[in-house]
């Protein structure tokens, strides 16, 4: 994995990023790529890259930005191509011809992507299977493509610059080091964060004018323009073409997931896995451990995050994970987080991201990632995506089903979905935010959610029920933020997080499944989740894992939230956005109002880091 950056000035001007600013930008991306840095510029275009060497790590020719030999095409790429071997074999005859018989210079997947785009242009994206965020420049046609993988595993943001150009980067923190990008909070996104705890909604971020490239999008930038801006030229509709097998059986499900795991085990550096003791991580680690044993490789290393309080381990996850690790023969490590470590880790992670956190367990994921890096592994498999693709949220579904079955429901399906999936009700936002903006922001949020629900209903098909639309919307709204959360926590320590469930072909398969394949109706209003996954892997997993209900990470945040509450009371940023009565209620009883305590404390630290005094080691952009 890597960090990417680029800046485009108006045609006829130089890119205009001074050496000191470029150094700040690359330094802000160095955690994503600690193994090397590189830049390339031509006229009004500048590309920058920081490399985490996972494929062909010793090859100097694999350094980025990577160019075709004649210099016409340049690429910066953050990702992993899982069909690299097949695509490279298909391209090789044409590459040999284009290079006068020299062919590929490296074994790195970035060069495969470079040549695919150089030879086939935008059509090449239909042939890429993997996770990526990239920028590709064609000097001759004076165009640049920005692209992000169809599920949004890898992040990519962009912004206009004050002198009429544009810039992009892997993370907002790096992008905001650009000397001509102003740093302001996005008012509506502050309200959306207070409701949903999400850092992004659609293409909007918490920074005004900083846009996230939508998953599955290809954006074209005209480099000869007097006002270069990305324009979308392709979306993620190509997903449906990725699966040849039309069967919806458990056997077909198992084959697809096993294929995804095997593809994501390919690496020139050590690979390990997160293991929580639940169904999703058990599937991945069992398949990975079996494959390593088949190859005669060392045992798989597995890692489990655990919460400690008063010297006691909390929750059933760690013992389940240890027992399963013994069964599959993995070398297993527990990473403990107590209250003091949580509070320290929370502050460290927010200061690093320049963004508030979505959920408290982000701190535990980051702590585990740090331990993995210290142990020498650079790639980690993780189970994100299984719940969103295969229906893992049975309690939310039950509430939605009960609402849908009412003869006269009090509010529409889309609004009810927003209510049950939010941390704070949109209707209560006027009691939390200052000024008259709360009602406007709440109305805008409801309107956006209703439009998203309408699109989900259309995508689910003409005969789909509200329940089908609910499942699709939940996947659309939840999956990308979950993947972005994993990326932020793992890349904080230079770990490439890979997510075999969040694979294009697995997604296309899951989207075709009927409701009955994902949920087993056990009683009125009671559902057993991920039915097809349990059936597909029952023969290779212990019954206590297969039949175990979904459980959240057992962090006692209600009790630990008191350590955050005092931060909000003295924060100028919170005073600007949050009503004093809401702050006082949190300070008086943080355990009772722990969700609001979490959101407000994160905004307080976010405001301090991003808009107040700069975090240590990174200056605020001019």
249-555, which class in CATH? alpha beta
Distances (CA, A) of 537 to 279, 464, 481, 541, 560: 9, 28, 27, 6, 37
Cα 219 to Cα 81, 122, 259, 511, distances in angstroms = 20, 10, 30, 25
Q: Which pLDDT does position 81 carry in this prediction?
A: 96
617 is in an annotated binding site: no
* pLDDT by 10-residue block (mean), the chain, 622 residues: 94 90 97 95 96 85 92 97 97 97 95 98 95 98 97 97 97 97 95 95 95 96 94 63 66 97 94 96 98 96 95 92 98 96 96 95 96 97 95 74 63 80 90 90 90 85 78 87 96 97 94 87 75 96 92 82 76 91 90 91 94 47 34
pLDDT of residue 237: 45
pTM: 0.93
pLDDT digits (tens, 9 = 90+) for 544-574: 999 988 777 778 888 888 778 777 777 889 9
Contact 550, 428 (CB under 8 A): no
The string of DSSP codes covering 347-367 is HHHHHHHTS--SSTHHHHHHH
H or E stretch at 383 = none
* pLDDT single digits (tens) 188-227: 999 999 999 999 988 999 999 999 999 999 999 999 999 9
Q: Is 383 labelled as part of a ligand binding site?
A: yes
Amino acid 403: pLDDT: 64
User: Which candidate in 2, 108, 253, 304 is catalytic?
Assistant: 2
**How confident is the model at residue 244, as a pLDDT?**
52
Cβ–Cβ under 8 Å, residues 314 and 556: yes
Output the pLDDT for position 616: 35
Q: Is residue 109 annotated as involved in ligand binding?
A: yes
- Per the annotation, the verdict on 2 as an active-site residue is yes
Specify the CATH class of 2-234 in words: alpha beta
Predicted local distance difference test score (pLDDT) of residue 93? 98
User: Where do the structural domains in the chain lie, given as residue ranges?
Assistant: 2-234, 249-555
Between CA 592 and CA 574 the distance in angstroms is 20
Measured distance CA(360)–CA(558) in Å, rounded:
11
Q: How far apart are alpha carbons 416 and 420 in whole angstroms?
A: 6
Residue 384: which of 218, 502, 284 has the closest Cα? 502
Residue 458, token pair as written in the block = 């259309």
């Amino acid at each position: 994995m890597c960090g990417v950056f680029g800046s485009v000035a108006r045609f006829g001007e130089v890119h205009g990023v001074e050496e000191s600013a470029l150094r700040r930008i690359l330094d802000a991306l160095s955690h994503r790529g600690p193994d090397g840095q590189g830049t390339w510029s031509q006229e009004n275009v500048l590309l920058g890259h920081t490399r985490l060497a996972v494929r062909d790590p010793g090859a100097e020719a694999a350094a980025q930005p990577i160019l075709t030999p004649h210099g016409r095409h340049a690429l910066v790429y953050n990702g992993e191509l899982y069909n690299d071997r097949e695509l490279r074999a298909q391209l090789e005859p044409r590459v040999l011809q284009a290079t006068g018989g020299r062919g590929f210079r490296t074994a790195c997947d970035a060069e495969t992507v470079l040549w695919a785009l150089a030879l086939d242009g935008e059509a090449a994206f239909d042939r890429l299977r993997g996770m990526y965020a990239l920028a590709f420049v064609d000097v001759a046609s004076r165009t640049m493509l920005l692209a992000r993988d169809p599920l949004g595993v890898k992040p990519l943001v962009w912004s206009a610059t004050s002198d009429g150009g544009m810039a992009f980067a892997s993370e907002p923190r790096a992008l905001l080091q650009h000397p001509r990008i102003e740093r302001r909070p996005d008012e509506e996104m502050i309200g959306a964060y207070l409701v949903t705890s999400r850092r992004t909604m659609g293409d909007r971020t918490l920074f005004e004018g900083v846009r996230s490239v939508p998953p599955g999008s290809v954006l074209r930038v005209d480099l000869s323009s007097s006002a270069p801006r990305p324009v979308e030229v392709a979306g993620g509709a190509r997903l449906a073409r990725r699966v040849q097998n039309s069967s919806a059986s458990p056997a077909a499900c198992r084959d697809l997931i096993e294929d995804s795991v095997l593809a994501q085990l390919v690496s020139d550096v050590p690979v390990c896995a997160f293991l929580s003791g639940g169904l999703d991580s058990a599937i991945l680690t069992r398949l990975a451990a079996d494959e390593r044993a088949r190859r005669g490789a060392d045992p798989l290393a597995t890692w489990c995050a655990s919460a400690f309080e008063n010297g006691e381990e909390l929750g059933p996850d760690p013992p389940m994970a240890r027992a399963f690790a013994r069964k599959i023969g993995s070398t297993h490590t527990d990473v403990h987080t107590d209250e003091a470590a949580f509070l320290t880790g929370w502050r460290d992670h927010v200061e690093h991201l320049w963004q508030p956190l979505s959920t408290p367990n982000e701190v535990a994921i980051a702590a585990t990632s740090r331990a993995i890096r210290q142990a020498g592994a650079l790639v980690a498999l993780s189970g994100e995506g299984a719940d969103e693709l295969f229906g893992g949220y049975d309690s939310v579904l039950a509430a939605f089903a009960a609402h849908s079955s009412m003869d006269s429901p009090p509010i529409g399906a889309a609004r009810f979905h927003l209510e049950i999936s939010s941390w704070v009700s949109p209707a209560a936002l006027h009691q939390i935010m200052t000024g008259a903006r709360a009602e406007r922001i709440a109305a805008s949020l409801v309107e956006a959610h209703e439009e998203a629900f309408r699109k989900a209903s259309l995508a689910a098909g003409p005969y789909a029920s509200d329940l089908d639309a609910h499942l699709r919307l939940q996947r659309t709204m939840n999956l990308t933020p979950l993947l972005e959360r994993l990326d932020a926590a793992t890349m904080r320590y230079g770990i490439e997080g890979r997510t075999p469930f969040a694979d294009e072909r697995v997604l296309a398969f899951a989207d075709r499944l009927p409701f009955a394949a994902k949920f087993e109706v056990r009683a009125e209003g009671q559902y057993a989740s991920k039915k097809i996954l349990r059936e597909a892997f029952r023969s290779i997993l212990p019954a206590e894992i297969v039949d175990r209900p979904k459980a959240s990470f057992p962090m006692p945040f209600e009790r630990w939230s008191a350590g955050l509450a005092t931060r909000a009371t003295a924060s100028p940023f919170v005073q600007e956005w949050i009503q004093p009565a809401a702050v006082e209620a949190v300070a008086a009883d943080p355990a009772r109002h722990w969700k609001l305590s979490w959101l407000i404390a994160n905004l307080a630290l976010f405001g301090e880091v991003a808009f107040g005094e700069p975090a240590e080691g990174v200056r605020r952009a001019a």
